[in-house]
């Protein structure tokens, strides 16, 4: 290995004592490849196993915690105990390759396709998604339903523990239900779950508390609890950088194992809310970095990209599209072959790198999302 890149291969130990062999994590990515009943497919397991030997930790695609939270066709579930064998199959495949396995848990809220949730699309308030044409107006959740979904996040955490995962990541990003409660665009409530900035934080923080409580009760070994968030929304009203820094501050006091920023570009700058042109990652690190480890992500394709990111002081970086394009990304750097890393997908080779066909079709039909497409 070129010693220049040795910072990427230092081990990392969470405050709970669980250690990672290097600083590179596989980011959660929807792959659309599970069975209709919510169990994982052999193709999906093979896809994850192919990408689990180089990175130190794999965060799975999002897993719905309730039946009415299923956000995609081909998404795997964690909403009943019947799903534990399926969840275990995936955890085992990841861990057998030497990586820690983290299950990302979520509820799709107003982003759920009606045909997947018996037309019962729910959210913080009856405000349709701006992300889809002809999006349905969601049904506002009652107070008791909100409490029930919080418990569901805990129950899925218990299942993750029983299935052998090393942790869970609470998916509070990308416009799904947890973010819908935090956003002034989707949350127009006037009860304890909405109104002021502090009340819009109530649901995300309640989910964190429930997940941590269940982990403390059921995990026999150190168990990771992380939280992923999106820093800003394009809508007005919508989450701005000032809102996010307030949320990050609150999350940093929750004794989480990490915070994971959802960005397309590691170096992106704030859209609004703060009079500061520094990268969002720098602002987040400044606010929370001394209290909780931050995972940075976004358009890191080469070894030099990764090194530049790590040199900002962020302790961990996550790769998403990069590991689909080249599953041996980490191993190539480790063996001194960083110049052999593939940075563009060959859309004429549908069989490359054990990518399941539903994911492959999504890739080749998404111009601009992947280099080479």
- The helix or strand, by DSSP H or E, that contains position 145, with its residue range, turns out to be helix 143-162
State the chain's maximal CA–CA distance in angstroms: 57
The predicted pLDDT at position 70 comes to 98
Length of the chain in terms of residues written: 373
| Nearest CA-CA partner of 30 in 131, 108, 130, 122 | 108
Residue 131 pLDDT: 87
Q: Rounded mean pLDDT of 349-365?
A: 89
Mean of the per-residue pLDDT values of the chain: 96
Distance CA 293, CA 370 (A): 28
The answer to whether domain 3-364 has CATH 3.20.20.70 is: yes
Going by the DSSP 8-state scheme, the letter that residue 352 receives in this structure is G
Query: Is pLDDT of 353 > 90?
Result: no
Cβ proximity of 31 and 274 under 8 Å: no
State the Rg of the chain over Cα: 19
**pLDDT tens digits for range 257-306:** 999 999 999 999 999 999 999 999 999 999 999 999 999 999 999 999 99
The model's pTM is 0.98
Average pLDDT over residues 339-362: 89
Tell me the C-alpha distance between 12 and 31, whole Å. Answer: 28
């Amino acid at each position: 290995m070129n010693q220049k890149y040795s910072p990427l291969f230092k081990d990392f130990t969470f405050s709970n004592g669980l250690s990672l062999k290097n600083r590179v994590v596989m980011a959660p990515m929807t792959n659309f490849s599970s069975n209709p009943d919510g169990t994982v497919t052999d193709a999906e397991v093979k896809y994850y196993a192919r990408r689990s030997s180089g990175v130190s930790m794999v965060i799975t695609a999002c897993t719905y915690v309730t039946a009415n939270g299923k956000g995609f066709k081909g998404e795997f579930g964690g909403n009943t105990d019947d799903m534990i064998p399926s969840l275990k199959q995936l955890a085992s495949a990841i861990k057998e390759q030497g990586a820690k396995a983290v299950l990302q848990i979520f509820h799709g809220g107003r982003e759920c396709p009606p045909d997947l949730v018996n037309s019962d699309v729910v959210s913080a308030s009856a405000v349709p998604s701006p992300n889809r044409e002809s999006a349905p107006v969601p049904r506002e959740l009652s107070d008791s339903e909100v409490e029930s979904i919080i418990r569901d996040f805990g129950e899925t955490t218990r299942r993750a523990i029983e299935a052998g995962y090393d942790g869970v990541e609470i998916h509070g990003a990308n416009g799904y239900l947890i973010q819908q409660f935090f956003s002034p665009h989707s949350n127009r409530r006037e009860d304890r779950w909405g109104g002021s900035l502090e009340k819009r934080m109530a649901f995300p923080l309640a989910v964190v508390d429930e997940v941590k409580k269940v982990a403390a009760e059921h995990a026999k070994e150190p168990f990771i609890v992380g939280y992923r968030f999106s820093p800003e929304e394009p809508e007005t009203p919508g989450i701005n950088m000032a809102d996010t820094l307030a949320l990050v501050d609150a999350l940093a006091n929750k004794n989480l194992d990490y915070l994971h920023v959802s960005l397309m570009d590691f170096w992106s700058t704030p859209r609004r809310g703060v009079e500061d042109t520094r990268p969002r990652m720098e602002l987040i690190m400044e606010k929370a970095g001394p209290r909780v480890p931050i995972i940075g992500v976004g358009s890191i394709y080469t070894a030099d990209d990764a090194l530049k990111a790590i040199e900002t002081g962020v302790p961990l970086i996550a790769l998403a599209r990069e590991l689909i394009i080249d599953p041996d990304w980490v191993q190539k750097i480790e063996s001194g072959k960083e110049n052999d890393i593939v940075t563009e997908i060959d859309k004429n080779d549908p069989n490359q790198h054990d990518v399941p066909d539903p994911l492959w079709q999504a890739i080749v039909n998404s111009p601009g999302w992947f280099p080479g497409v």
